[in-house]
Structure 1
Amino acid sequence: MAPNAPQHILIIGGGICGVSTAYFLATHSARAASTKITLLEGTKVAAAASGYSGGFLAKDWHGSATADLSAMSYDLHADLAKQFNGKEEWGYRTVDTLSIETDATRKSKKSSPLPWLADGLVHSSRSLGSHSTTAQVHPRLFTEFFTKKFLEQPSTELKIGTATSLTLDQANQTPKSVSYTSENGEKQELEIDQLVIAAGPWTGKLSEQLLGNKIGGKLAVQGHRAHSIVLKTQQQLSATCLFTSMTMADGSAGEPEVYARPDGTTYICGAGDDEPLPPTAAKVSPSQSAIKKLHKQAEALSSVFTPEEKVEVVAEQACYLPIADRGRPLVGKVRGVEGVFVGSGLSCWGITQGPGTGKVLAELILEGKVRSADISKLAP
């Protein structure tokens, strides 16, 4: 064992970033046999955006700060799918991606770009991505799968509980212990020497609670609520993701995103708002008016989403996207304290960037440097 090998690494957050970090730490060749790894989640794995988002992946849609991480993570998705049969386990597949403009107030003379879109509805269509640059996963299934793989490794565990405080070793200002409240309300304490905060939209509040305003206040991540519905159609739809700009028959507008999945369901999302972030993922609930709007838009887009075509409503839901106040994700070592790391604020790209974030954090913690991607502009 290396002299400075971590004894106990704690990851707070059971979303795709936290789970990916736990998995890549547990399977890293530089991990010492004695290093224990614990994943602490407040409710259940994939309880928030990682369980309710669409799972759309894009390789080259990103700004300079996240371009390298995103491309690496996109390819990592493909590698993991090949290694673990992701097609069957979590619905991985590459897709075509289109931007379409529809207007129900006037008939289009253009032919429909897809057989399941109504003739005369689509006024313009252009490609945003192909099977080489865009793909999809079912994010909850992905996160649950790699939680299982993490727990198959030695000296790993998953605990359900809410972190309440962090104690630092006064001699070297490194993590000493984290107190948490277990799911049955008991107060518990974990002795640790490394900490990863990957709590999604709760990262900002938790960081201040654990690290104080001077350090934790710089890890400002908030939540923005987005809504979605999942519909199962009688017709199997093509492997296509749509980004739409719709004008309805009554003149109202909308921009729902529509992701056809290989299991016969279609994920349709949009209608975000600024409802305050609740204290836990278990308290998240959708706005019924926003859900109603998505159903209206889906039915206007294609008859396959109508009751007449016997569409089945699988889910009506909401989640909070983790948005960093500074406008780009927080990935790396936290300044002002030793042995504390963060992976959060990935906004709508959390599923694309999640595995890559876990991989680079594992490298940083166990090797002391990142090899797989340039995250220099994401340093907390």
Structure 2
Amino acid sequence: MSTVILGGGIIGLSTAYYLAQQKEASTTSQSQSYSLYIVESSPALFESASGYAGGFLALDWFVPAVASLGALSYRLHRELAEKHDGPRRWGYGGSHVYSLSVEDVGVSGPGRKARGEDWLLQGTSRAGLVGTNSEADRNSHVSHSQHADRVNVNADGTPAVFTPQPGGTLETIAGPEECAQVEPRELCEFLLDECKKMGVEVYLSTKATRVLTDDTGAFSGLKLQSTDEDRPAEWDVECKNVVLAAGVWTPRVFKTLFPHSNWQIPVEPLAGHSITVRSPRYNTPFVDPSKRRIGGGDENWLCYSIYCPPGQHWPYAPEAYARLARNGETELWLGGLNHSDLPVPELAVDVKKMIDPECIKDLRKTTVQLAGLAKEGDDLNQDDLETIREALCFRPVSSTGKPLLGQLPEKYLGGVRVGGGGIWVASGHGPWGITLSLGTGLVMSEMLLGKKTSADVGLLRVA
């Protein structure tokens, strides 16, 4: 009997990857007839958060209910990178993390020092406790590396990709043992390729329109329909389990499949614009020989992250990641301009049409202030940055601020009985979808197979 995963983003892919691995390792006759499908309504994958997010990874920046999952996922990211040359294939690298602190007298009162990671304290992060991390008390900068001659640095030793801010100070809040970065789209492409090698079937331009039941009224499969108007088609697929992992589209998928349910999946969209650029001051990956090597090669590439508070140059809290792409190509991603009122489009490929030029213009101005070529005096920084891409992401945020993982009780299914299978959900990861992806995938695969989970996710299950 089959499992169908609805949603081809990083959560759905991670679930399929670990489920296929465990099924491939099994030698039972049942596994030989087992099928695994990923169903994606869009004609292309990774057109929202999974393809355009910042790619920041954290070991322990989470509330207690998420801490175990976060630690597992961080370990899996490192292990995957070591096994499959993640630094060159999807830009995996340990990340030095800064908070930009500025005097913010006009906004927050006399003498207050606004910190860049303040936004993380609002229920989704333990960033205020990162002083316990390995780098936080050292205030070490890139010039401490034996290879500092390979990179451009500011006079204070901070990486020159970030322009010194008047009245601002970069404070170290975490290091590359506790934080890392990836290029999300390239990680997703790797997972997709591996899934296909293990026999996972991927259906694009396809949506599930209703559940099927057997003669006893128990759930037995899904009716699928093409979303391509030029190639209309409908067909049935038998399956034992369905995983709802469609990001912000998850509540919509659930309502379509279970129209008689009085329950709603408590996930809302948080949209965010971003911009990715190249900088002349970040053209070689940072190298830190004092840290453990990742990937087994000679390189030990290091990325840099910066969190900024609202201030005179921007009214929101921008975050910027000097990260790597394939084969050590360097780029700077900047986001933080978020919107909670944008409507979710029908398909993920429609997100591009919703990019607001004024928001991109605003982000560009912020990027130049943070990373443009500094001029003497009070002149504005010079915009010498090359645009790589402009994007809009929709992140799924749950009502509790924590992911929803696990099987849905029958009482929520509007009269549908599941028999020997189940309807499962993996959504609501908010801004932590990339960092929690691999841990979520492993835990969901273990739940589906009836195994003990590798992380304690008891407080993340749907009650």
- TM-score in same-fold range (> 0.5): yes
Shift in Å, 1:13:
0.4
Secondary structure in 2 matching 1:95: strand
Contact in 1 for aligned 2:368/2:383 (Cα 8 Å): no
CA radius of gyration, larger in? 2
Greater mean alpha carbon deviation, residues 230-239 or residues 287-296: 230-239
State the alpha-carbon separation in 2 of the partners of residues 301 and 112 from structure 1: 16
State the alpha-carbon separation in 1 of the partners of residues 60 and 177 from structure 2: 10
Residue 128 of structure 2 is matched in structure 1 by: none
State the alpha-carbon separation in 2 of the partners of residues 37 and 231 from structure 1: 38
Long gaps (5+) in structure 2: 107-112, 114-154, 287-302, 375-379, 411-416
State the alpha-carbon separation in 2 of the partners of residues 18 and 255 from structure 1: 29
Contact in 2 for aligned 1:102/1:246 (Cα 8 Å): no
Number of positions where the alignment pairs a residue of Structure 1 with one of Structure 2: 367
Identify which of 128, 132, 135 aligns with 2:173. Answer: 128
Residue 129 of structure 2 is matched in structure 1 by: none
Identity of matched residues, %: 29
Amino acid at match of 1:279: E
Residue 349 of structure 1 is matched in structure 2 by: 432
Long gaps (5+) in structure 1: 1-6
Residue 403 of structure 2 is matched in structure 1 by: 329
Residue 387 of structure 2 is matched in structure 1 by: 313
Distance 1:340 1:264, change over 3 A: same
Distance 1:112 1:256, change over 3 A: farther
Greater mean alpha carbon deviation, residues 238-247 or residues 312-321: 238-247
Shift in Å, 1:103:
6.4
Identify which of 278, 287, 294 aligns with 2:345. Answer: 278
State the alpha-carbon separation in 2 of the partners of residues 124 and 49 from structure 1: 31
User: Superposed, which structure 2 residues align to 1:263-302 within 5 Å?
Assistant: 263-273=329-339, 274-284=341-351, 285-302=354-371
Contact in 2 for aligned 1:197/1:342 (Cα 8 Å): yes
Matched, 1:202 2:249: yes
Shift in Å, 1:191:
1.8
Distance 1:365 1:117, change over 3 A: closer
Shift in Å, 1:275:
1.1
Identify which of 267, 274, 278 aligns with 1:228. Answer: 274
Residue 293 of structure 2 is matched in structure 1 by: none
State the alpha-carbon separation in 2 of the partners of residues 266 and 310 from structure 1: 13
State the alpha-carbon separation in 1 of the partners of residues 385 and 271 from structure 2: 26
Contact in 2 for aligned 1:233/1:304 (Cα 8 Å): no
Q: CA RMSD in A?
A: 2.5
Instruction: Give the TM-score taking structure 1 as reference length.
Output: 0.89
Matched, 1:25 2:19: yes
Identify which of 217, 231, 234 aligns with 1:187. Answer: 234
Q: Deviations over 1:176-210 (max 9, x none)?
A: 23322253332232222211110000001111111
Residue 136 of structure 2 is matched in structure 1 by: none
Distance 1:118 1:355, change over 3 A: closer
Identify which of 316, 336, 343 aligns with 1:254. Answer: 316
State the alpha-carbon separation in 1 of the partners of residues 440 and 164 from structure 2: 43
Contact in 2 for aligned 1:25/1:362 (Cα 8 Å): yes
Shift in Å, 1:104:
10
Residue 364 of structure 1 is matched in structure 2 by: 447
State the alpha-carbon separation in 2 of the partners of residues 122 and 92 from structure 1: 33
Shift in Å, 1:221:
1.7
Q: Which runs of 4+ in 1 moved over 3 A?
A: 102-106, 110-120, 304-310
Q: Which has the higher strand share?
A: 1
Contact in 1 for aligned 2:15/2:444 (Cα 8 Å): yes
User: Superposed, which structure 2 residues align to 1:131-210 within 5 Å?
Assistant: 131-154=176-199, 156-160=200-204, 161-169=206-214, 171=216, 173-183=218-228, 184-210=231-257
Contact in 2 for aligned 1:223/1:320 (Cα 8 Å): yes
Distance 1:316 1:255, change over 3 A: same
Secondary structure in 1 matching 2:235: strand
Shift in Å, 1:66:
0.9
Secondary structure in 2 matching 1:135: strand
Identify which of 208, 222, 240 aligns with 2:304. Answer: 240
Shift in Å, 1:45:
2.2
Distance 1:312 1:39, change over 3 A: same
Contact in 2 for aligned 1:196/1:340 (Cα 8 Å): yes
Secondary structure in 1 matching 2:309: strand
Distance 1:280 1:104, change over 3 A: same
Residue 3 of structure 1 is matched in structure 2 by: none
Contact in 2 for aligned 1:112/1:119 (Cα 8 Å): no
Shift in Å, 1:67:
0.8
Q: Deviations over 1:102-135 (max 9, x none)?
A: 46999x9x95743344445252332222111100
Contact in 1 for aligned 2:103/2:168 (Cα 8 Å): yes
Secondary structure in 1 matching 2:54: coil
Secondary structure in 1 matching 2:434: helix
